[in-house]
Chain A
Amino acid sequence: MTDTKSRPDIPIDRIPGTVDMLILQTLTVGAKHGWGISHHIRETSRDILQLNQGALYPALHRLEDRGWIHAKWGVSENNRRARFYTLSAEGRRQLERETAGWLEFVKAVQRVMQLSPT
């Protein structure tokens, strides 16, 4: 059982657009269904970033609405009907823009935080 109390409380939607960016990034490796996306983010962030349904599905629908991702019904690894999402060309461009902005932002925040005493 994972100990939830010792984990720092990081709300994944603290910065608007973060969720979208994470989803787009996740889809660069290939088509994934909703649970696959949230699982991938949880795994790669070592359980720090948790994306629940309430945040994930609205985001997926929003991204689909904007044409950044496409969805198609397919068959999952355990042989069940699942909705798979893929990155569109437009989505890829959007991801590039967001990544650049994000890295700038992280660097800036880091510079500020390093100056302050811990």
Chain B
Amino acid sequence: MSDLSNLRHRLTRRLRALFDRGALERELDDELRFHLEMEVEHLMRQGLSPEAARAKAQREFGGEARAKEAARDARGLRVLEDAARDVRLALRSLRRSPAYTAVALLTLALGIGATVAVFSGVDAALLRSLPFPDAGQLVMLHETNRKYPEMHFAGANFREVEEHGTGLSSVAYYGEDTVTVLGGLEPRRSPSALVSPRFFDVMGVRPLLGRGFTSDEGAKGQPPAAVVSHRFWQQVLGGDPSWVGRTLRLGSGDTRVVGVMPQGFQFPAGVDVWLAYVDTNPHRTAHNWSVVGRLRHGVTPERLGVELAARFASLKAELGTAMDAEGVIVTPLQTFLSRDSRTPLLVLLGSVGLVLLVACVNLTSAGLARAQARQRELAIRSALGAGRGRLLRQLLVESLVLSFAGGALGVGIAVGLLHLLGTGASPLSTLAAPTLDARVLGFALAVSLLTGLAVGSAPALHVTRDLRGAMAQGATGTGGGRLRGRALLISAEVALALMLLVGAGLLLKSLHALLGEDPGFHPERVLMAEISLPESRYGKEGSHYGDGDRVRGFYERLTRELRELPGVESVGVINQVPLSGMSMTSGFMVDDGTVTVGSAGYHIVDTNAFATLGVPLLRGRALSEEEDRAGSPHVTLINRAMAERYWPGSDPLGHRIRLPGMDAHKSEWMTVVGVVGDVRQDGLDAAPKPQLFVPQSQRPERLMAGATVLVRASGPLSELGPRVRAVVRATDPDAPVEVSFMADLVTGSVASRRLLAVLIAGFASLALFLAAVGIYGVLAYSVAQRQRELGIRMALGARPGAVRAMVLRDAMRAVLPGVGVGLVGALVLTRLLRGLLYGVSETDPTTFVGVALALTAVALAASWIPSRRATQVDPLLAIKGD
């Protein structure tokens, strides 16, 4: 017979094996029955009675089932048909124990769900590429020097990069801002960005409607042009395509809408209006711009960095103090955008992984108990002809069926969690909202598979190892050695839970320490009204700043009206509120000096700002309406940090300060007349920085762009908001206003820390709960297994106390090593938390000891019920039982 026909023959067989299973099965049955009958006939011919012949034939030939099963195994492609059968068997077996199945499913769903949810965050922020064409080529550029490792670009230096950066195919700058949009029912503030004309080319995204900017748009003398976001177009412009080419009334003046960006284009995050702006500022220290560039193919960020650093070093050598940058830092855009969320996300992923591990340990131990209870069933199946491999496979399939079902539920839970957390509360930018994409689903699948294998293999191996022994023993083994294996599982889950609890403890302690920090002001009962004045009416020809008289006039009128409102205690004005993270910084000169000797945060306040905020005056005098008029000699207040930094051990009062680059009064000297208490400007975790406060009466011009009116109420704030809004609108209907509670500033400033701490604490609690359940389960099982032994002990006169102590001792023998290992593991792992902690060391002994004690207490509590049950064993029943 030729090889070809042989091959054909074999193929037909395999195909039949796959598709015509029923027929093959029947043929096998026929063949075996025929064999048996032939054998019976043969034996009868040798003189046996028909009954004896049949009995002998059956006995001698071994289980018919075994023969069938083995013959089936020898058939090709049996894997598929076996899998289907194993799944059916598994489903049947799981249906038979609904309680176990439900608990296991729930555990898996929670564990896998949380893991998938966190992974989707990791995926969005760190793995998925940004939604721009060839996003890997996009980089952020910053100027750098020894003192400030990362500075914004000056326009003049940007032009340097544009001309000489041969590693870049294109480069653009942007500066985030807000713009007042007029013409609707109410004026509104919209997030905006000033961008260089080529900005959209660099990002590689074309407008959906209209066009991007032409190369000279945004230059002086050109008509102003804007591109708007899809969201803005839909929500504010009503989705009307005819808006392209029409004029939008913006606070900065009438502006033509030249394009609408496609949905999903969000860069910088949240921006609704992009305005073309051509920077012509010659100063190389005017650090105003974020710079984004597109690398030429084959150029690495490092190479570009080296190339530009060389250029900047020679420029610096040439220009001296006129330039403060010494080099350029190049960061891939994705790295830049995700750097704040990177560590928290990885910590979260690690934590949720630990929870999943605890869940796996629990299920393993439950699976062991269950498999042992099923040993008799398995032994019978084995006697009926199922080989060890088949049984092993069946147990594994059972656990895989569970884990995949749990995984599917888990994906549902993940969707719910993501929905619950939303994008607003998430530490990620809206640029990379977590979704369940193919990668996340693949991850879910892989986690389910691994979980199933991990949870299923130990019980399966353990049980099938010695089936014959099990058959002889019956279903109840004494189980001494097996308990030892499960004690290891207890130790493992205690260790895992402890590591998580220590991490959660440290983070919560940090949060507590942070909230315990004195922000330096009293935010309670203070309402904030953020206002900006339209440039078209308050601006001054030929100046960036407002017209002093008109701006001052507006705020004086407004605050006067607000003080009249019932329930208002005091009203103040400040341009940048504490904890906002916003501050303008200015270099300053002292006492007729001609070089800047330091820098400080620049704030404009009215006379009531500090009283309204509750910031104390420490020395000198407060600002006064009578003394500090527009025409009188200029004065300033400084904070304690500034006094200590620049006049350590001496009196700052009476010294004079000039800000050469800050406002409309660059050449005017100001006398320091008072020192006020420190407030936290950048966040509760940032130490106070030097700040100076100039009076609104003398320098109101910069208030046009934005200021906050603070209203302290004597009672509840809820009714005050609409009234304040109404007063602002009555004072100027074109001034957009946003009202919020100052107390929310404090909460908001710790929001992402709180989210992280709460999530980790949640995971840790889950792990603790699972560990407690695990300990309880193992002990309860072991007590049940040892009923006879315990009964004998009781019958021989062991006191209940001694029996209970014995069980508890057994439990502690498993728990305490776990605590030890967990402590060591925590010492190693909490190092990863270093950057996330505040006011607590990552080896904080109180946390470590406290958590160890608490965990041991919980473990003891979990062991208590089984230990009590051990003392309630009825000696007689236990001895007779089985």
A residues in contact (CB < 8 Å) with B: 1, 33-36, 38-39, 50, 52-54, 56-62, 64-67, 70, 73, 76, 78, 80-83, 88-90
Contacts and interface: CB of A to CB of B under 8 A. Distances in A.
A57 B31 contact: yes
A23 B9 CA distance: 20
Contacts of A67: 6-7, 9-10
B70 A89 contact: no
Contacts of B62: 52-54
B64 A53 contact: yes
16 contacts: A34-B31, A35-B39, A39-B38, A52-B67, A53-B61, A53-B64, A54-B70, A57-B70, A57-B71, A61-B71, A65-B13, A67-B6, A67-B9, A81-B34, A83-B31, A90-B1
Contacts of B61: 52-54
Contacts of B60: 50, 52
A88 B70 contact: no
Contacts of A88: 1, 6
Given A53-B67, A54-B70, A34 B76 contact: no
Contact of A64 (B7, B13, B35): B13
Contacts of A78: 38, 41
A65 B76 contact: yes
B240 to A, nearest CB: 73
Contacts of B39: 35
A81 B66 CA distance: 23
A53 to B, nearest CB: 4
A33 B34 contact: yes
Contacts of B28: 57
A32 to B, nearest CB: 11
B805 interface: no
Given A52-B62, A53-B67, A90-B6, 18 more contacts: A33-B34, A33-B35, A34-B34, A34-B35, A52-B60, A53-B36, A54-B70, A57-B28, A57-B32, A57-B67, A58-B73, A62-B74, A65-B76, A81-B30, A82-B31, A83-B30, A88-B6, A89-B1
Contacts of A57: 28, 31-32, 67-68, 70-71
B31 A54 contact: no
Interface string B521-552: 00000000000000000000000000000000
Contacts of A81: 30, 34
A88 B37 CA distance: 28
Contacts of A65: 10, 13, 74-76
Nearest to A37: B35
Contacts, number: 89
Nearest to A82: B34
A83 to B, nearest CB: 5
Nearest to A68: B6
A59 B71 CA distance: 7
A57 B66 CA distance: 10
A53 B67 CA distance: 6
A17 to B, nearest CB: 14
Given A35-B39, A67-B10, A90-B1, A54 B66 contact: yes
Nearest to A34: B35
A58 B1 contact: no
Going nearest first, the 10 A-B pairs with the smallest beta carbon separation are A35-B38, A53-B67, A58-B70, A61-B74, A57-B71, A67-B6, A54-B62, A62-B74, A53-B61, A35-B35
Contacts of B339: none
B76 A83 contact: no
B34 A35 contact: yes
Given A62-B74, A65-B13, A67-B6, A54 B67 contact: yes
Point out which of A52, A54, A59 has the most chain B C-beta atoms below 10 A from its C-beta. A54
Contacts of B30: 81, 83
Contacts of A34: 31, 34-35
A19 B272 CA distance: 81
B67 A58 contact: yes
A93 B66 CA distance: 31
Contacts of B385: 54
B48 to A, nearest CB: 8
B66 A70 contact: no
A67 B7 CA distance: 8
A79 to B, nearest CB: 12
Contacts of B41: 78
A103 B70 CA distance: 29
A53 B74 contact: no
B42 interface: yes
A1 B32 CA distance: 24
B74 A39 contact: no
B140 to A, nearest CB: 63
B34 A53 contact: no
B81 interface: no
B63 interface: yes
B27 interface: yes
Nearest to A38: B35
Contacts of A90: 1, 3, 6
Contacts of A66: 10
A56 B66 CA distance: 11
Interface string B66-103: 11101101111000000000000000000000000000
Contacts of B9: 67, 70
Contacts of A70: 9
Contacts of A1: 48
Contacts of A50: 60
A33 B62 CA distance: 19
B75 A53 contact: no
A52 B61 CA distance: 5
A88 B9 CA distance: 11
B413 to A, nearest CB: 46
B217 to A, nearest CB: 77
A34 B61 CA distance: 13
A83 B7 CA distance: 21
